[in-house]
Amino acid sequence: MLLGMVVIVLLGGLLYTRIRDGLVVDRLVVARSEATRGLRDAQARFDTVTDPDGLNVLVNDLLPRLASPEGDRSREVVLMRALTNDRPPVVPELSSGDVSGSTIPESLRQRVTSSSQQQQEFVRVRYSGTERTKPGVAIGSTVTLPVAGTYELYFVFPMDREQATLDLVRRTLLGGGIALVILVGAVAYVVTRQVVSPVRQAAVVAHRLSSGRLQERMRVRGEDDLARLAASFNTMAASLQAQIAQLENLSRVQQRFVSDVSHELRTPLTTIRMAADVLHESRTDFDPAVARSAELLATQLDRFESLLTDLLEISRIDAGGELLDLEPVDLRDLAARVIEAATPLCQGVLDLHVPPQECVAQVDSRRIERVLRNLVVNAIEHSNGRPILVRVALDQEDPHRAVAISVRDHGVGLRPGEAALVFNRFWRADPSRARTIGGSGLGLAISSEDVRLHGGWLQAWGEPGEGSCFRMTLPTGPGAELTASPLPLAPEQDDLGVGSPYLRIVPRSGPHPLPRQDRTVGRA
Ligand SMILES: Nc1ncnc2c1ncn2[C@@H]1O[C@H](COP(=O)(O)OP(=O)(O)OP(=O)(O)O)[C@@H](O)[C@H]1O
Ligand SMILES: [Mg+2]
């Protein structure tokens, strides 16, 4: 529409100036030839008289005839004494049709007196006794009157008719232009509505589809390009829906299978467990090789049991609809409990740093305890006896926003890229790595699901030889939104140790608190 308006304005302007120039040029050509003829006639008539009276009579008679005939006021005449004429005035200054002498501007008079040629200028034609003026052109030259000397004779051509024509043209162009703009606007509106509304509808349907409403379809109307688009869109949606349904079905079957197998294995496992316990208890009666086998049987059964428990947990999570048993928990107590239980497994320093104030969050304590236990056991397994530091912290800016627990060890660490892989199911850095405890590779996968259910983050950092750090950040309640974690993940930011407002408690094993230089042992 804007473009249309610009084009119409430009075109209208051009047309208007063209018509105006044409009208003016035509009028000028006619005016000039009339003036030349009139001047020649007048000079010839003036040359015929010799006395002042005759001259006066001639002038009074001639002027009305030089002007256009009565009724048609398209040409007027003005006779004035030349600016340089200093003879006594014999003939008065005269004009036809009440045209005032002030119509002739000073500049034109100067040019006429100083030149023998005809001169012209556009003027406002004024009339004596009235305020009204008209646009026009004045063409003049000097004439020599016998006895009276040099006079200026001007022909004034009012251009009011041209003005009227131009006004009509302007009104027509303006009216036409406005009508055209409205028409362009209406056409644009109709066309865009026709194109845009189906596209909008398509966008709405696509949005609904992407938000999971797979049965949404577009309406197909007519046979144009948009109808074809809608038809292909619907085909795509239908095939997507079919494939997703198939995949859902498949994954449901798989989940059922895993969960059924785990359940089915439980009963025989219980029986085996009881038998193994009997064997284990009476191992002292066996010869050493058989006793060793009984021990192996017992430890491997432990692993088997924990694997089964993990599998059942994973299939429960996959089945969805897991409900959290939320309650306010002080994470300092929770961490202390976990550390207490894990200490017997640990050969090195296992330290806990907590802030003086309460770190309460609405969590499912069973799950969060399981997560932390897994993190601590992992750290013990991979730290090779080097110090382990567990830290609890509260969001400094807004204590009602986030709490965090991090487990930092100085053991084998993680290779580049492994920090993201550790949360994958059954992933282990080195399947052949010698282990004393655990080892199915499901622990962190379950942990990350648990943390995700709470709306929190579970992140890992590690470098080979430097150790690793696992950080769990939890919102304090269901309404809180996580934006940052109160604890650092990588050790560059690791300045919250000893000396900070954090209290050190529970120095479990090892005689020393965990000084900074101790940690460099791990790096060495
Ligand atoms: N603190 C750590 N330092 C180095 N590597 C680690 C650490 N914690 C975990 N990993 C790596 O991540 C892998 C996965 O850990 P995850 O806890 O999921 O399984 P797991 O400990 O092997 O078995 P489980 O299911 O019994 O916990 C581990 O096998 C190990 O390679
Ligand atoms: Mg583990």
Give residue-wise pLDDT tens across range 20-31.
Answer: 999 999 999 999
Instruction: Read off the pLDDT of residues 160-200 as tens digits, 9 standing for 90 and up.
Output: 889 999 999 999 999 999 999 899 899 989 988 888 888 88
- The preferred substitution site among 444, 463, 472, 489 for testing ligand 1, maximizing ligand atoms within 8 Å of CB, is 444
- The preferred substitution site among 300, 304, 350, 378 for testing ligand 1, maximizing ligand atoms within 8 Å of CB, is 378
pLDDT tops 90 at residue 516 = no
Ligand 1 proximal residues by C-beta, below 6 Å = 310, 374, 378-379, 382, 409, 411-414, 422, 427-429, 438-445, 462, 468
Q: Which atom of ligand 1 is nearest to the CA of 437?
A: 26
β-pair type (350-354, 388-394): parallel
68 C-alpha vs ligand 2 centroid, how far in Å?
Answer: 117
Q: Token pair of 182, please?
A: 């409205």
pLDDT tops 60 at residue 270 = yes
Q: Which of 389, 406, 405, 390 is nearest to 516 (CA)?
A: 389
Which residue's alpha carbon is at the smallest distance from atom 7 of ligand 1? 378
- pLDDT on residue 517: 34
pLDDT tops 60 at residue 328 = yes
Out of 18-22, 40-44, 507-511, least confident range: 507-511
pLDDT band at 439 (very low <50, low <70, confident <90, very high): confident
- pLDDT on residue 144: 87
Percentage of the chain with pLDDT > 70? 92
CB contact at 8 A, 434 and 515: no
CB contact at 8 A, 508 and 487: no
- pLDDT on residue 212: 87
CB contact at 8 A, 37 and 66: no
pLDDT tops 80 at residue 518 = no
Residue that the structure tokens 């769990």 belong to: 472
SS3 160: helix
Q: What is the torsional sign of CA 54, 60, 64, 66?
A: positive
Helices (DSSP H) in 343-442: which residue ranges?
365-382, 418-421
Q: Which atom of ligand 1 is nearest to the CA of 438?
A: 26
